[in-house]
Amino acid sequence: MNALTPPIVDPTQNGARLDASVRIVGTGLLGASIGLALTDKGLDVALADASPSQLRLAIDYGAGRAAAPTDDPDLIVVAVPPDVVADVIAAELAQYPRAVVTDVASVKTGPYLDLTSRGLDLSLYIGSHPMAGRERGGAISARADLFVGRPWVVCRDASTPRRALAIIEDLALDLGATPIEMTPDQHDEAVGLVSHVPQLVASLLAARLVDAPDEALRLSGQGLRDTVRIASSTPELWVQILGANSAPVAEALSALRSDLDAIIGALEDTDAVGARRRIADAIAAGNVGVARLPGKHGQDRRFAQIVVMVDDTPGQLGKLLTELGEINVNMEDLRLEHSPGTAVGLAEISVLPEVKQRTIEDLEARGWRIASV
């Protein structure tokens, strides 16, 4: 072994469940993030991409090595755009007939039906989808912890061998995700509601800001920023995703349009009988809906919020996080709000309800100001 050859690492010594050679086709955000996480655990990860520059970038960031003609992978992860995913899966199944193949495309029914219509043996193919991402794509945005605590949908059928299913489940668990079994149709309907519709709603609302007066934009706070955060996503990719999952998304948007029409009618005449109740019912229904969202790591439990005032000076936020650790408080979530020009920001931390009061008392004893409880 020369000095430039990385040492051989037993992945099981790093806590990995997978003991397999892995090939990743597509080195964008998801593919590179999977590569980073698996190489951190000592697995041999081979990377392939139609773009040589994208491939080199992912390798430079440490997501794996360049694929070689002599590779004989145990697991293949296809992480390419939706409009080519079926073709790539078919090619990988043909080239590596003993490998288990999965893909991480955000739509599952279309590719599965396409592959089925070709008469391929799909016993070693299992569609999957990690519910994780960022507003920006590419290997430069990849993170080894991207999937930690996130659901990972696994779409198998009756012909799927237990061995193959176990490999995909181990993949998800090694990445810190939680495997969830669904059919392709169930998956597409679900992500249409919880992922694809929110993207469109965020984009449409953000588009209203294009011609908004500067005076109005200067009044914007964290509520608007939270609502339009995902509007920075790549249009080309979303055209493919929405085109592949158009029916469930259109159905959900039609229901939303009915709700909007009802609210618009109430707002046009707030003195009409039942108008105010219609508005109140809509807000109340939103309360019920948001309360159903699972918390950290998919747990269906609620957290308590504490709002801490943080001086706008270097190191203050880091100090707060450090002191939360010193008082043995596990922060479940963090939201920051800071208006330009103000000397103080607000850090809203989520904690378990049973430690809320103790956390407030300990933080106040250390000189922190609690804005609201």
The answer as to whether 10 is a domain residue is no
CATH of the domain at 357: 3.30.70.260
Burial label, 217 (beta-carbon count in 10 A; 0-12, 13-18, 19+): exposed
Amino acid at 101: V
For residues 171 and 75, the answer to whether their CB atoms sit within 8 Å is yes
Residues 57 and 111 in one domain: yes
Single out the residue of 70, 73, 13, 66 nearest to residue 40, CA to CA. Answer: 13
- 372 versus 229: the higher-pLDDT residue is 229
The answer as to whether 5 is a domain residue is no
Residues 132 and 194 in one domain: no
Ranges of H-type helices in the chain? 29-40, 52-60, 85-95, 109-117, 162-174, 184-191, 197-207, 214-217, 222-228, 235-244, 246-268, 275-291, 316-326, 356-365
The answer as to whether 8 is a domain residue is no
Average pLDDT taken over every residue of the chain? 89
DSSP strand pairing (333-337 vs 344-351): antiparallel
* DSSP label of 78: E
Residues 25 and 163 in one domain: yes
Name every residue whose Cβ is closer than 8 Å to that of residue 329 and which is 6 or more positions away in sequence. Answer: 351, 355, 358, 359, 362
Residues 263 and 160 in one domain: no
Distance of alpha carbon 56 from the chain centroid: 25
The answer as to whether 340 is a domain residue is yes
pLDDT at res. 171: 96
pLDDT at res. 339: 62
Confidence of residue 297 (pLDDT cuts 50, 70, 90): very low
Residues 259 and 305 in one domain: no
pLDDT tens sequence across 257-268: 999 999 999 999
Confidence of residue 13 (pLDDT cuts 50, 70, 90): low
Report the predicted TM-score, pTM, of the whole model to 2 decimal places: 0.76
Please give the tally of structural domains in the chain: 3
CATH of the domain at 206: 1.10.3660.10
pLDDT tens sequence across 141-181: 899 999 998 999 999 887 888 999 999 999 999 999 999 99
Q: Which residue has the tokens 């993949």?
A: 171
The CA distance from 76 to 96, in Å, is 9
The answer as to whether 4 is a domain residue is no
Domain that holds residue 344: 300-372
Tell me if residue 68 falls in helix, strand or coil. Answer: coil
pLDDT tens sequence across 36-88: 999 999 999 999 999 999 999 999 999 999 999 999 999 999 999 989 999 99
Residues 304 and 281 in one domain: no
For residues 89 and 125, the answer to whether their CB atoms sit within 8 Å is yes
Residues 100 and 139 in one domain: yes
Query: Is pLDDT of 10 > 70?
Result: no
The CA distance from 191 to 284, in Å, is 24
The answer as to whether 101 is a domain residue is yes
Residues 51 and 110 in one domain: yes
pLDDT tens sequence across 319-371: 999 999 999 988 888 888 766 666 788 888 888 888 999 999 999 999 999 98
Name every residue whose Cβ is closer than 8 Å to that of residue 114 and which is 6 or more positions away in sequence. Answer: 86
Q: Which residue has the tokens 């011609």?
A: 211
